[in-house]
């Protein structure tokens, strides 16, 4: 299918902007083996080394090298070590009687220690802050899951592709037509800077939303489609 046709690039831009205003692009991001990845970074463990995270005697997170040995979550430490004697086992941080803050105790006991997941909560917040730089609208679903509203970014990418195809020296872009059906009848016509600027003003704003009591953006998903 060719992008060439009677429609101008300005008309295609208008359709893209209208779609961006009416629909949302939501990304669900899930951090795999999150606790295990946090511990690998903390300890400087190479990515090819098997590592699992313990909470008392059972595994709660297993990295991909460990899974290659058949190790799974909820196994006991002894079961996992039988499958992979070189497995690196890391117990989550705990707070012992008299501790002022969580520590990685060598042999924590349920009788004298309490579980602390603060290290993973801190790592999660750091990741969310990095994501927020590019996607101000987001909603955390759990410690290792987040929904991102990428609508403005997606519209910008499509518009950039349309503008590229509209260059006077650009060949008719068939790949663009396959990727974005709204450009299937577009021709590589030039558009004025004034009309382009006017269309850009209609894009969803990239403003930082208000924060709730947890310090997270207040996001309303009403009418945003299926999440």
What burial letters (b/e) apply to 2-36, b meaning 16+ CB within 10 Å?
ebbbebbbbbbbbbbbebbeeebbbeeeebebbbb
Q: Please, are residues 188 and 173 in contact by the beta-carbon 8 Å criterion?
A: yes
Strand ranges, E, within 133-212: 138-142, 145-149
CA distance 47 to 173: 40
The active-site residue out of 145, 175, 216, 218 is 145
DSSP assignment letter at 170: P
Strand duo 51-55 + 58-62: pairing = antiparallel
145 is catalytic: yes
* Residues with active-site annotation: 145
């Amino acid at each position: 299918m060719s992008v060439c046709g009677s429609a101008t690039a300005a008309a295609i831009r208008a359709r893209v902007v209208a779609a961006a205003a009416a629909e949302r692009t939501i990304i669900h991001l899930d951090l795999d083996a999150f606790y295990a990845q946090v511990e690998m970074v903390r300890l400087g463990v190479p990515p090819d080394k098997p590592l699992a995270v313990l909470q008392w005697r059972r595994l709660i997170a297993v990295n991909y090298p460990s899974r290659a040995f058949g190790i799974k979550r909820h196994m006991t430490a002894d079961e996992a070590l039988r499958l992979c004697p070189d497995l690196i086992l890391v117990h989550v941080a705990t707070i012992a009687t008299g501790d002022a803050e969580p520590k990685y105790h060598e042999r924590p006991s349920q009788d004298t220690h309490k579980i602390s997941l603060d290290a993973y909560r801190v790592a999660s917040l750091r990741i969310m802050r990095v994501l927020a730089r590019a996607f101000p609208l987001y909603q955390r679903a759990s410690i290792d899951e987040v929904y991102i509203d990428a609508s403005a970014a997606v519209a910008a990418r499509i518009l950039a592709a349309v503008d590229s195809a509209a260059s006077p020296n650009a060949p008719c872009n068939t790949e663009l037509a396959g990727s974005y059906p709204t450009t299937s009848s577009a021709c590589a016509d030039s558009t004025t800077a004034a009309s382009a600027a006017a269309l850009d003003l209609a894009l969803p704003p990239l403003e930082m939303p208000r924060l709730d009591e947890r310090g997270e953006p207040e996001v309303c998903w009403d009418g945003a489609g299926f999440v």
